[in-house]
Amino acid sequence: MKSVNYKIEVLTENCTGCYLCEHICPTGAIVMEGPKSAALAVVNNDKCVACFRCVDVCDDDALLAPERESPLVFGTDPKSAPEADVVDLCHRAEIDPDKMVCPCSMTGAREVAAAILNGAHTMADVALATGVQSGCLMYCFAPTHRLLKTFLGVAPMPHSKNQFYDTSYVPSDISPEVASRYPQFYIAEETQTLAAEAAAQKVVPV
Ligand code: SF4
Ligand code: SF4
């Protein structure tokens, strides 16, 4: 399990209602309340994983990050879903089940898959259930999006109309010609390994 020791407070007198914090929050912990021309940010700290992205984006010094009275504990046991289903979902998404999806929160593909199988069906749900998207956002977005899209059968929608999601790549999306230019990333080898594992599991990648 993981825990965070900070929460977010809004200085409403400084909030200009720019919507940037709602836009950037990975867990949907911030919503804008009030009429559009005078909306103010409101934080649900039961959903805040203390990524501080909102504090960074706020140009009006309207967000503070004090310590919590007690830590927020969260995370998903990879064994909380049937292992065969976890592995099957990873393989269908063309992701190595033993891959580290989010080094920032130390979250592996099995934990993300288990969270999805247990009912986390939006990117925000998965972020709150596992801690992905709480750090650099460089590594975790694509595999998390891919696992969710594979499970749902459609691309997951942002939790806010003010957000958008970019598309994601897995090794087999990259053409052999491009892969051959970057041998240091072992793209062809990973594609072959995943295809062999998927064939052994008799699954059809999406
Ligand atoms: S980023 Fe700051 S000013 Fe903008 S809505 Fe959020 S708290 Fe208010
Ligand atoms: S610290 Fe991160 S998770 Fe918490 S409210 Fe801000 S953006 Fe959302």
Tens digit of each residue's pLDDT (9 = 90 or more) over 131-180: 998 888 778 888 898 899 999 998 888 777 656 665 555 666 778 888 88
The residue whose CA has the least distance to atom 4 of ligand 2 is: 48
* Contact assessment for residue 122 and residue 152, using Cβ atoms and an 8 Å cutoff: no
CA of 45 to the centre of ligand 2 (A): 8
41 Cβ closer than 6 Å to some ligand 1 atom = yes
- What residue ranges do the domains of the chain occupy? 2-74, 78-201
Above 0.95 for ipTM, yes or no? yes
**How far is it, in rounded angstroms, from Cα 76 to Cα 33?**
31
Q: Is residue 82 very low, low, confident or very high in pLDDT (cuts 50, 70, 90)?
A: very high
Burial class (CB in 10 A: 0-12, 13-18, 19+), 16: middle
Query: Which ligand lies nearest the alpha carbon of 45?
Result: 2
* Contact assessment for residue 150 and residue 136, using Cβ atoms and an 8 Å cutoff: no
Q: 2-74 adopts what CATH topology?
A: Alpha-Beta Plaits (3.30.70)
Position 86 scores a pLDDT of 98
The residue whose CA has the least distance to atom 3 of ligand 1 is: 15
16 Cβ closer than 6 Å to some ligand 1 atom = yes
In a mutational test of the pocket of ligand 2, which residue from 27, 134, 159 has the highest number of ligand atoms less than 8 Å from its CB? 27
Residue 7 pLDDT > 90: yes
- Residue 100's φ and ψ, nearest 5 degrees, are -80, 115
Can you tell me whether residue 27 is helix, strand or coil?
A: coil
- Closest C-alpha among 91, 85, 88 to residue 191: 91
CA of 62 to the centre of ligand 2 (A): 13
